[in-house]
A = this chain, B = another copy of it.
Amino acid sequence: MESVNIKQLAKALNLSTSTVSRAFRDNSDISKETKEKILAKAKELNYQPNHYASNLREQKSKTIAVIVPELANNFFSQAIHGIERVARDKGYHILIYATEDDYEKEVSFIRHLHNGRADGIIMSVSGEANDHTYLNELSQKRLPLVFFDRVYEDIVTPRVITNDYDSSFAATQHLIKQGCKQIAYLVINKNLSIGKFRMQGYIDALAKYNIPFDDRLVVDCTNSYKKNETILKRMLLDVRPDGVFTSVERLAFATYYACYDLKISIPEDLLVIGFSSLEIAPLLNPSLTTITQPATEIGIQAANLLFKMLERPEEINPSEKIILNSKLIKRRSTERN
């Protein structure tokens, strides 16, 4: 890159670098004339202030890092979309990191972000391990962090989550009211906060309606399509549930596929409901009853929270928690004829 720097621009104008620099920041004293002259010449020579130099000098990067478990995922891509909008408005740049649910990667990303690359972090955690102390390094060094959706309960930092317990309760209750007695609960990571809260809602709803809790109906799934297929098919055949509640979108799809294969028809033989951010849930066969999280809004709020931390840290309560409501949208997959 043979790009123009401030010195060359200054020389071309017979001015000092300080004057030129001032032209690019509004505050300082500078005559309108020279400022205009400078900006014109800058455009002509295609001058862009080098961000690395500025960042080094100013000790901030105008950049935030977003860490998510995966990118090719409706929920996260919508959330990132929300974050992007807010960040763009503020003139911030966004670095993206995907952990692929790998704890090592998560730690490594976080560690490396401590070098000034980003002014703050918005993260949905991988949840694959129990030692989150490395995160406390963040708070020591005051690199602001906001969690969204998937959080670590033992780390104190602002977060944006949804009313998972209530939604789960409502979802389970909905199945019960539709006549289900044997409701399977599909989960990927029971240890994750989200897994726990969602599961508790399920358990409590069963209890409320005096439906006995059955171990075999709580199904631990994985991130592998194939394994899930095996696990699910076995469960569907062995335990014969009349309802399935999936704590994660992907598992609802897996259930559909399994049912197609096994000629179990939804909703005649089995009712299905799931957490999902899928916009085309109405187009599924049958249309899928969902608990829909306001994914974009979650991203927006998380970003707003982070910027509040950056701009007015004193106003932020470290245990601030924004809770948004998911919506239960009833569709054919839970309709009793």
A1-B142 contact, Cβ under 8 Å, with A56-B56, A71-B84, A77-B71: yes
Contact with B along A60-86 (1 / 0, CB 8 A): 010100000011111001101100100
Q: How far is the CA of A46 from the CA of B113 in the complex (A)?
A: 12
Tell yes or no: A112 within 8 A of B by CB. Answer: yes
Q: How far is the CA of A2 from the CA of B51 in the complex (A)?
A: 21
Do the beta carbons of B48 and A112 come within 8 Å of each other?
A: yes
Is B296 within 8 A of A141, CB to CB?
A: no
A237 interface residue (CB < 8 Å to B) = no
Check B2–A296 contact: CB distance below 8 A: no
Residues of B within 8 A of A52 (CB): 52, 55-56, 61, 116-117
Q: Cβ of A262 < 8 Å from any Cβ of B?
A: no
Q: Which residues of chain B are within 8 angstroms of A84 by Cβ–Cβ distance?
A: 71, 96-98
A141–B1 contact, CB under 8 A? yes
**A49–B115 touching, CB < 8 Å:** yes
Give the contacting residue for A111; candidates B48, B80, B112, B137; CB below 8 A. Answer: B48
Q: Taking the complex as formed, is A257 at the interface, i.e. its CB lies under 8 A from any CB of chain B? A: yes
Q: Are B285 and A256 in contact (CB under 8 A)?
A: no
Q: How many copies altogether? A: 2
Cβ-based interface call for A213 (8 A): no
A55 to nearest B CB, angstroms? Answer: 4
Check if B2 sits within 8 Å of A142, measured CB to CB: yes
The answer on a CB contact under 8 Å between A3 and B141 is yes
Partner of A253, one of B49, B78, B283: B283
Tell me the A221-266 residues at the B interface (CB within 8 Å): 253, 256-257, 260
Chain B residues lying within 8 Å of A71, measured Cβ to Cβ, are 77-78, 80-81, 84
* Complex contact A95–B98 (CB within 8 A): no
Residues of chain B lying within 8 A (CB to CB) of residue A94: 95-97
Residues of B near A74 (CB, < 8 A) are 72
Q: Once the chains bind, are B143 and A1 in contact (CB under 8 Å)?
A: yes
| 22 examples of A-B residue contacts, CB within 8 angstroms | A1-B59, A1-B116, A1-B142, A2-B141, A3-B115, A49-B115, A52-B55, A52-B116, A53-B56, A56-B56, A63-B95, A71-B78, A72-B81, A77-B77, A81-B98, A94-B95, A95-B96, A257-B282, A280-B284, A284-B285, A285-B285, A285-B286
Please give the residue numbers on chain A whose beta carbons come within 8 Å of chain B beta carbons, in ascending order: 1-3, 46, 48-53, 55-56, 59, 61, 63, 70-74, 77-78, 80-81, 84, 88, 93-98, 111-112, 114-117, 137, 141-143, 253, 256-257, 260, 280, 282-287, 296
